[in-house]
Chain A
């Protein structure tokens, strides 16, 4: 059946079952999280729907469970499955948002540094290198800490998600800038760019219309890998108590909250969010790997 497929893209994709499964996992998780308010069996953070009497119920296949709560409940009687879907929503939002921000900054800096070279390149890349010397999590911690003290507590609580996006996004742009700069420098010396100059096209047209599309391939791969990294960074920050508030927990915050009960036998509160995080990160990584191989004709 595979032999009838003309398109290289679908052929390469379908001949890698691992990638297909990963891609499906991403699609299912993204859809489930995006439509959490409609899909989730409960609204876990609405106090009026929670009953403390339902607390610490095990998953449906264990003794003493309640069929209303498929993956059990936590100590406040919240449905674990629903909390995961709402939490995954925040994790994905932070992951995608942070990477979008990193990509945008990285593209601008990389294109400018690579195209103009000289002093522009030196200044921009020195700044990038200084930032690269700090671990991303440290930068995120720093930004988070500064904003926490600078903003009033209520503003900080409501702005948790944008703040996480900002912190993680600003920590991750250097890799994008480097990869874009390197590709831009290669493209800049190609004859088609010289031809653009010979036609007289202004620099911004050359950069945006001609060079940008030719450097997007590696950026796409890096972006996918970085989504996984950003999700993990967010989870780490939340686990450390610096991320989303407990009233609106992301996957990382759920794991942090649940970890306290791990040894009291209430394992489902931490294991299921943990598995979901794992699945998300592995799936993004595998799809990114496949994309890198697909875009590199030498590996085909």
Chain B
């Protein structure tokens, strides 16, 4: 066995702060060989990105390496000056960032950006570099590279853009590549292609790759070895199949157990225990109507967004975001809506709940009638009380200037559901109902973690005693262990309160866990709509099959040994 390409020894990274330093990485150790991919996995705040940034010398201010060594082929990177690191960056170490939208300069053509890097890093003339750039774009799988060189980043799709970013990272022929969440911003079907590309480049060029990600599926499909991190410390390391197949550390076991299965519906989500309590009785007061039949029906719906342009210019035709056949959601049902970004699933969700005006068609709730025909304020108010939303981003969905008890009491008071004197007690009970403490009402949103904020959002939605909940990617911004808790809470609420739900998500596994029926959307159209079990077990439409095949799975397979070496 030869010496490793990179070895990190007892690395510590601290962020000095006047009230005590924050230790982001605490004694992290790993080795990386040529032609090998090592995955760094952990939840947000685990310090995995910080390790990558420390290696390439791009720690964000005021972070610094406080102890340990980063040895890249006999050279200790931790001891180098900023100037010396600058020479190494690009030439010895390349980096791929998460968001391909922001890591390219929008004002330069793709070819010019790549040629610039090549000419600087390899001391070539610009004309030579241009020829080389076209070749390299071809190498990363961009068809028709000679023409596409002259295009701007916005003319590329997300996946193609990430390929350009990879070509840029490789412009100086580095030995080491750091990929920081390279596919997190991409759709699953594109994700697989980009991961395959990274894998094949790693093998071909004998690169060492550090793959930083929060997604166990990405690790399972790509990494040879894996390091599990938590609170800046290394929890467990080993060959990927071993760690995922028979995890030793308690934390790794929890992480793996928290991942929702894509192959079967788990019992914890299917049949949660029903809860009854004082607050549940209050929440159920609105539910005195019949429990069978359709909750809502929609005719064929169309939503068009006018193309943007100055008032006097000739406008291109409007963009048709949603064009779907009639839908029906039964009382107490959870309808899953799944699709890739831009498929119109969120827009459809907002059309069905009256948050966006409909271009063509009508949505009719059994208890309220056609919602676009609700003329009187009182009718609209009554409708709004029945239908609530939980959003994706727990940060932007709470008003940071208001205290939590204020956020929760506003809907209760506005709809006159309790007297002023009763409201504080109700707010406390609501907070406890979603798993927080009653005293948390006195805090502001920024004092909570993402998962806790999402619980506050659920409490706010419950505060008006709704019977229908639109969940718009409610777990996409959360860590996997918190995602499982959130799904369990939503499913328990659904059972205890008999809620009807529309569950929008890009994550097939999540949708499978919660939905009774599932609609698959592509480019504004529903391509398949069936019972959840039937759809996942025997997908009929080609696109559904494609989505299911490309979704990363944490399946444990022993990789070819020669390939790993």
Contact = CB atoms under 8 A, between A and B. Distances in A.
B18 A3 contact: yes
Interface residues of B, number: 31
Interface residues on A, range: 20 to 34
Interface string B396-413: 111111100000001100
B399 A6 contact: no
B295 interface: no
Contacts of B410: 199, 201, 209
A112 B507 CA distance: 38
B384 A200 contact: yes
B391 A199 contact: no
B393 interface: yes
Nearest to A15: B18
Nearest to A214: B401
A200 B388 CA distance: 10
Nearest to A195: B397
Tell which of A6, A190, A200 has the most Cβ of chain B within 10 Å: A200
B388 A198 contact: yes
A148 interface: no
Contacts of A68: none
B396 A192 contact: yes
A192 B18 CA distance: 33
A219 to B, nearest CB: 14
Contact of B385 (A191, A192, A200, A213): A200
Contact of A198 (B353, B393, B400, B402): B353
A190 to B, nearest CB: 4
A199 B396 contact: no
Interface string A1-44: 01100100001000000000000000000000000000000000
B176 interface: no
Tell me if A's interface is mostly helix, strand, loop or mixed. helix
Nearest to A192: B399
Nearest to B460: A195
Interface in A104-131: 122
B18 A195 contact: no
A190 B18 contact: no
A195 B389 contact: yes
Interface string A122-147: 10000000000000000000000000
A188 to B, nearest CB: 12
B414 A200 contact: yes
Contact of A191 (B383, B391, B415, B464): B391
A99 to B, nearest CB: 23
Nearest to B457: A195
Interface string A201-237: 1000100011001100000000000000000000000
Interface in B349-390: 353, 355, 380-381, 383-385, 387-389
Contact of A190 (B355, B388, B396): B396
B380 A190 contact: no
Contacts of A3: 18-19
B399 A194 contact: no
Contacts of A201: 410, 414
B18 A194 contact: no
Contact of A199 (B353, B384, B402): B384
A204 to B, nearest CB: 13
Given A2-B18, A6-B19, A210-B399, A194 B391 contact: yes
Interface string B77-94: 000000000000000000
A198 B384 contact: yes
B464 A190 contact: no
A121 to B, nearest CB: 12
B257 to A, nearest CB: 30
Given A6-B19, A199-B410, A199-B411, A192 B398 contact: yes
A292 to B, nearest CB: 19
Contact of A200 (B392, B396, B415, B461): B415
Nearest to A3: B18
Tell which of B387, B414, B461 has the most Cβ of chain A within 10 Å: B414
Contacts of A122: 311
Contacts of A191: 391-393, 396-397
B387 A192 contact: no
Nearest to B466: A198
A11 B383 CA distance: 49
Interface string B299-322: 000000000000100000000000
Nearest to B406: A209
A143 to B, nearest CB: 32
14 contacts: A122-B311, A190-B396, A192-B397, A194-B355, A195-B397, A195-B460, A198-B384, A198-B388, A199-B384, A200-B384, A209-B402, A210-B399, A210-B402, A214-B400
Kindly list the 3 A-B residue pairs having the minimum CB-CB distance in the complex, ordered from nearest.
A200-B384, A191-B397, A191-B391
Given A190-B397, A200-B415, 18 more contacts: A2-B18, A3-B18, A6-B19, A191-B391, A192-B397, A192-B398, A192-B399, A194-B355, A195-B457, A198-B355, A198-B389, A199-B411, A199-B414, A199-B415, A200-B380, A201-B410, A205-B414, A213-B402
